Every structure is written in C-alpha cells, then in structure tokens.
C-alpha cells in the first residue's frame, strides 16, 4: 500500500467505512502484536493492540494523523508498553530480574534510535526468504517459527542432534540478516534524515 492508497484508506475509515478499517487492521495487526509482544506478555499485547484499533475506530472523526499510519500506530503501542513496563517494575521488589531489565533495554533501544523491521516487513518478503532457505533448514526453521517447538523437540522430530538444529536455525537467521541488510540500512537512512 503506498502513501496515496493509505491516505484514501484513512479517509474512508474516517467516514465509517468498515472495509477500509479491516484493510488497515489486516495490514498492521500482526506487526503491532509482534512488536508489543517484545515487551509485554501475549495477553497484554493482544489488549494493547486491540485497544489501539478500537480507539482509532471510536475516535475516527477526531483523530488527525500527521505522520504515516504505521508510525502513528507503532508510537501508540510503544507508549502503552512503556507505561505497562514501568508499572511492572514498581511491583517487583527485586532489581535483579534480568528478563524485565532486558525488556526495558529493548524498549529503550526502539525509543532512542532504531526502528523495528516489523514496521516495514511484509508477509511476502518473509515468505520470499523462507523459500530461499535450503530444504532441511527451512523445515527446521518452520517447526520453530510456525509451531514454536524448542530445539530439543525439533531435534526429536527430525531425529537429528540439538547441535544440528542450532546450526540450521543460525543459518536461517544469517540468510534473513542478508535479506534484510538493505532494509536495515534504509532504516538507518530514514533515521539519519530525521535528525
């Protein structure tokens, strides 16, 4: 969807067009959910993202989007996750919860400088990379990606060693990195232009 198409969609949403709203939802739901899941648990992520769309719809007449739709939605989700993590931190007395600390670091990473690939990546692009993976590597990767199996479970399924599974996963990640190399540098340029 280019900017023009997106403007049209937004215009239609403002006028109460549910089809346009659905298109918007389909375009961004998965990315926003995966993004929120980086910082908060799954249930919380569902709520945050759904509320974000719910409010967009309820307040559609009042809402003015000056940036791109994706930047607008990602910013809202980011802010809500930030609020949630802050509350979480207050609740915990121990400061050595490294899981939580890492989440905070990660959120900081996205607020300070970097953009997530999720803001730009499309399902097509992902599928293209997966298609290019060597057969065995793809099978292993898909088990992990689609079914969320652990490396040990995957090793059992294919009757190979855990080490071999790790090798395949790392190979897959490497190819993804290659594929997204240009995208990652584009992200950099975009940020560079902003400042």
Partner 1 sequence: MESQKFSNIELVIQRFVQGQASVEDEKLLYSWIKEDPGNRKRLFQEKDIWESAKLGTKQMNDLELDQWLSLQERTISRKLRFSGIADFLKVAAIIVISLGLGWFGRYLYAQQSLIYKTVEMKTVEATKGQLKEVFLADGTHVWINSDSELSFPSRFDASNRRVELTGEAYFEVKANEEKPFYVKTKSHTVKVVGTRFNVCEYPESHIIETTLEEGKVKIITGNIVHDLLPGEQSSFNTETSKVRIGEADLEIFTTWKEGRYEFRNEPLSKIFQIVERWWDVRIDYPEKLKNERISGVLRRYKPLEQHFELIEQLLPIDYEIDSDEITITEQ
Give min distance, CB of 113 to partner 1, in A: 9
The whole-angstrom separation of Cα 143 and Cα 145 is: 6
Sequence-distant (≥ 6) Cβ neighbours of residue 15 within 8 angstroms: none
Q: Where are the beta strands (DSSP E) in 22-121?
A: none
DSSP label of 95: S
Residues 154-193 that bind partner 1 (CB under 8 A): 166, 169-170, 173, 176-177, 180, 184
Q: How many residues bind partner 1 (CB under 8 A)?
A: 58
Q: How many CB atoms lie within 10 A of CB 40?
A: 20
Helix axes 3-14, 18-37, angle to 10 degrees: 110
Question: HSE (CB half, 13 Å, CA atoms) of 21?
Answer: 16
Give the residue from 88, 115, 93 showing the smallest Cα distance to 104: 88
Which of positions 99-158 make contact with partner 1 (CB under 8 A)?
99, 101-102, 105-106, 109-110, 114, 116-118, 121-124, 126-127, 129-130, 141, 144-146, 148, 150-151
- State which of positions 75-94 bind partner 1 (CB under 8 A): none
List 10, 25, 70, 72, residue binding partner 1 (CB under 8 A): 25
| 8 vs 79, beta carbon nearer partner 1 | 8
Q: Give contact residues for partner 1 (rule: CB under 8 A).
A: 18-19, 22-23, 25-27, 29-31, 33-35, 37-38, 46, 49-50, 53-54, 57-58, 96, 98-99, 101-102, 105-106, 109-110, 114, 116-118, 121-124, 126-127, 129-130, 141, 144-146, 148, 150-151, 166, 169-170, 173, 176-177, 180, 184
């Amino acid at each position: 969807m280019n900017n023009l198409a997106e403007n049209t969609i937004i215009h239609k949403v403002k006028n109460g067009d549910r089809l346009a709203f659905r298109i918007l939802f389909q375009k961004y739901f998965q990315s926003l959910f995966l993004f929120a899941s980086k910082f908060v648990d799954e249930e919380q992520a569902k709520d945050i993202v759904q509320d974000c769309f719910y409010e967009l719809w309820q307040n559609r007449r009042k809402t003015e989007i000056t940036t791109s739709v994706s930047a607008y939605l990602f910013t809202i989700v980011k802010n809500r996750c930030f609020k949630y993590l802050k509350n979480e931190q207050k609740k915990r007395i121990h400061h050595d919860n490294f899981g939580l600390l890492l989440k905070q670091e990660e959120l900081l990473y996205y607020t300070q400088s970097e953009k997530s690939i999720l803001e730009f990546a499309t399902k097509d692009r992902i599928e293209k990379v997966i298609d290019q993976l060597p057969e065995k590597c793809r099978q292993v990767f898909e088990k992990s990606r689609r079914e969320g199996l652990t490396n040990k479970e995957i090793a059992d399924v294919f009757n190979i060693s855990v080490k071999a599974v790790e090798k395949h996963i790392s190979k897959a990640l490497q190819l993804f990195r290659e594929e997204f190399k240009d995208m990652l540098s584009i992200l950099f340029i975009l940020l560079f232009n902003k400042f």
